Amino acid sequence: MTQQSHQQSNLVDQAQSVREGEELDLNVLREHLRPVLGGLVDDLQVKQFPGGYSNLTYLLSSGDQKWVLRRPPFGSKVKSAHDMGREFTVLTALEKVFPYAPKPIHFCDDHNVLGCDFYLMSYIEGLVIRREYPEGLALSPEQVRQQFFTLFDVLGELHSVDLVKAGLDNFGKPEGYVTRQLEGWSKRYVNAMTADAPDFAPVIDWLRDKKPGESGVVGVIHNDYKLDNVIWSPNDPMRLIGVLDWEMATVGDPLMDLGCTLGYWAEAGDPDFFRQYRAMPSDAPGAPTRAEIVARFSERTGINVDNMDFYFCFGLFRLAGIGQQIYYRYAQGLTKDARFARLIEKVHSLRQMCELVIDRSRL
């Protein structure tokens, strides 16, 4: 192996040993998948991808064949947040119109197999970037800027998918989407509150007051679009080759999708209380600001972005809701993943960031 190819192989996202408490019954799984994979199941091996706080992602392999299995987290009862059937349906529709989606292979709703819905999809081998750029990937500030703009350009491509051609014109309920999301996440946050959770009532009141009217723009929205949910070519890290984690995808207002992605976007000029919990290197030299991202998105899609403070603040609030739900499971002893213990601190930082957005907003 050459030095360059070794370096490239090191950039590929690697599965690891399955975490304690998140094991799969391999014997039952083998027999269930035999009609799908044939004799390959006899040598089926399972590993687990380390990223993510929500749905669990496993790498199945047999010889040189590889697949990905997705299932909800253990202990979760929030079906709407972990809808495997929805994810499989979206992937089936997008397969013919959006080249970045994995190929769906098999869906199972028989809970006698793994105790939950799950599905199998194609494995896209490539680079997944999380909190920091990995060693061996030295990008210039110009390349960082280009890569991040590409991230949002592909999001714009998703929003531009022809709903009729994809067969998704009757998927979801775009009318009233913004209102339903705001009210739904408000209830979910309150229901998941623990004694140490921050009060989001003033934020919710502001969002209700500043909620824009129906934009009239409708598109496929991912609903969890961020850097560690996309895959880059290890041979050309400027080229995005895959978009993952479609369980919350629907049809609705693209600006809600953009705002939710920007909720993850901790830029260089943000306060330390927000930046310390960033999930991606969005403050790296060369990275575009949220304002630059919004301007480019508007220019390329033609969508008006006058109410972006609302969408950004909602994105922060929704992210707090997601974190609080996960922390609630941890506090109740429903999951043993030690990473969840500090999520409450991030929820507090998101509350502070919402307050900052509201104070600065001209809405």
Q: Are 261 and 223 in contact (CB under 8 A)?
A: no
Report which of residues 80 and 226 the model is more confident about: 226
Q: What is the pLDDT of residue 53?
A: 60
Q: What is the pLDDT of residue 83?
A: 83
Q: Per-residue pLDDT for 329 more than 80?
A: yes
The pTM for the full model equals 0.88
Q: Per-residue pLDDT for 216 more than 80?
A: yes
Chain length of the chain: 363
Residue whose C-alpha is closest to residue 323's, from 265, 254, 277: 277
Q: Per-residue pLDDT for 118 more than 90?
A: yes
- pLDDT tens per residue, range 132-178: 998 889 999 999 999 999 999 999 999 999 999 999 998 988 999 99
- pLDDT tens per residue, range 18-30: 998 899 999 999 9
Question: Can you say whether the dihedral through the CA atoms of 151, 243, 271, 361 is positive or negative?
Answer: positive
DSSP class of residue 59 equals E
Q: Domains in the chain and their CATH numbers?
A: 3-122 (3.30.200.20), 141-360 (3.90.1200.10)
Q: Per-residue pLDDT for 295 more than 60?
A: yes
Estimate the crossing angle of helix 141-159 against helix 290-301, to 10 degrees.
40
Q: What is the pLDDT of residue 81?
A: 53
CA distances from 38 to 43, 57, 108, 118 (A): 11, 22, 16, 19
- Model confidence at 73, pLDDT cuts 50, 70, 90, reads confident
Rounded-to-integer distance, Cα 176 and Cα 219, Å: 14
Rounded-to-integer distance, Cα 68 and Cα 246, Å: 13
Rounded-to-integer distance, Cα 97 and Cα 188, Å: 33
DSSP string of 341-359, one letter each residue: GGHHHHHHHHHHHHHHHHH
Here the tokens at position 23 are 């094991």
- Percentage of residues of the chain with pLDDT beyond 70: 94
Q: Are 59 and 123 in contact (CB under 8 A)?
A: yes
Q: Are 48 and 18 in contact (CB under 8 A)?
A: yes
Rounded-to-integer distance, Cα 222 and Cα 264, Å: 14
